[in-house]
Chains A and B, each alone.
Chain A
């Protein structure tokens, strides 16, 4: 399916990551936006509010982030592609309804322009410390999809991918930006609508009387309907059977949660995207995402000039984690080096998958700024020694 031209601002633009994210969402077909102002994500909402009237959609500024997330879920059941954006404390407030989105299997996108934390932290400055919250922040057992762009162009391209994945797997997709990527201004080329690939909702097309909201075959993703089409369906946050009816047996729980987890795990290889640079001959592999992937580049270049065989693996998909790839690489490289603007989050995933076959080094940063490439270089040197 091709993009609706109403949302596509074809041409070359000079945009920051936040604006590019809003343009990407419009190009992806997002026609409902509910949000609450919070730095440094507000510009996404502002751009959307300005652009949506002429793209046949609706913007609503809600009273808080709990309401924003709830409204997004309602809008998706109303048949729209929907998103909300937030940062820091707002992401915490969205967690409960992200869980409802997982349980009801609601396609939607939540962008988090990460800032320094915990609590109010550093509202105007970068952090990358919500990566584990994106994965585990709502209660109960589930799997999620999270993507991490590193440029305004990628904010545009990848948020389209986020919408596509959310429709394909019926799961809220976390779009994990950071303040630097959000406020970085660069050239963004927006293609013509006919060259933008859009995944439509997996609409149910069978007979009305046979419709079971949570019945699946094959890919573990149930077909969806929208309110108002005469299916008279029920959806709940309670553990439910194929009819969508609540049930308190452990057998129903097993069936329900197992599928929520497995629809992502079984498709992990189809979801995961990474960018590789000089990986094949690497002794040391820098693993990075978001703005840290750009700060790592001068450190990597300098290390190679010094004769260290260092490669770069950039995570575009952070959840599901590229577990299989890291396991394989751990048998080939001597060490992994991971710069993150936190005191260790994704690095623990790398360490877990390396399983002792390669050393794992974190280059930590408390937030509020990006790494000095020299610090990354020092760790690469130590890892290579």
Chain B
């Protein structure tokens, strides 16, 4: 009789379970979608590296059975940039939260998109800082309350999809953890896309965001997504701000071709230096999947 194994065992560190996430949290679902997407793409797992920053989502790097780096707050993208440029045959994935990637790490986010760095960035957006106890995030829609906006938020949040689009990302999509099949498909596309690809993953944080804002538990927030999400592929990202307890536009918004950082670097140097220059980082396609 064959022993029962978890279908994600080849990608997850089972010896690190149980994970730290709360009941009703969607980060585990997002991580499963990544595992599923990696399986679908057939990218050799030995050539995949996951880089996270700090926060609840930042713990993903510690649970995937891949080369994985849990770095400093906000710096996952520049760390990933160094990793990718040093070893261009790697498929480098950044998996982190909204606070990490677009508050403290916001500058790196826009510059990596501008350079079209060949990395896939998966951002779990739960509208709050979970790890530190539910503070205002750069995504918190007014007038939601948080522990640092006890009378309600009043700052305009970032529209992450628009930010990525306007900074030059090659691929931009937004899904929720309810839309697991579409999310997984989108992650598959993002992983296979050359250049800076970005998927925003809307995710419940019942413990700190949902409960405080009378959205309810994880299930109720998923029901909210079911009732309020509108799939609109190709939507103008300027029009898809996420407002408090309002409709959420989801879908694939951007899928375009631009030279990556290394493509641009190599073509410039070839033009300037001619045969004195050997293109940097030619990827060899001989790695076996295991």
Contacts and interface: CB of A to CB of B under 8 A. Distances in A.
B107 A64 contact: yes
A164 B155 CA distance: 50
A60 B81 contact: yes
Contacts of B62: 234, 236, 245-246
Given A56-B278, A70-B82, A234-B61, A97 B75 contact: yes
Interface string B4-37: 0000000001001000000000000000000000
A98 B67 CA distance: 21
Interface in A93-140: 96-97, 99-100, 104
Interface residues of B, number: 45
Interface stretch (A20-28, A222-230, A313-321, A337-345): A222-230
A226 B87 contact: yes
Contacts of A71: 78-79, 81-82, 85
Given A64-B107, A66-B78, 14 more contacts: A56-B278, A58-B281, A63-B78, A70-B78, A70-B81, A70-B108, A74-B78, A77-B83, A78-B90, A230-B46, A233-B67, A234-B61, A234-B68, A235-B68
B172 interface: no
Given A71-B79, A237-B71, A246-B62, A79 B86 contact: yes
Contacts of A73: 71, 79, 82
A80 interface: yes
Contacts of B75: 66-67, 70, 96-97, 100
A243 to B, nearest CB: 9
B264 to A, nearest CB: 12
A74 B51 contact: yes
Nearest to B13: A234
Interface of B: 13, 16, 45-47, 49, 51, 61-62, 65-72, 74-75, 77-87, 89-90, 107-108, 111, 261, 265, 269, 273, 276-278, 280-281, 290
A31 B107 CA distance: 25
A32 B85 contact: yes
Given A56-B280, A64-B107, A228 B78 contact: no
A53 interface: yes
Contacts of A228: 46-47, 49, 67, 87, 89-90
A232 B75 CA distance: 21
A64 to B, nearest CB: 7
B70 A74 contact: no
23 contacts: A53-B277, A60-B82, A60-B85, A63-B78, A63-B111, A66-B108, A70-B79, A71-B81, A74-B78, A74-B81, A74-B86, A75-B83, A77-B86, A104-B69, A227-B67, A227-B87, A232-B46, A232-B65, A232-B67, A234-B67, A234-B70, A235-B69, A245-B16
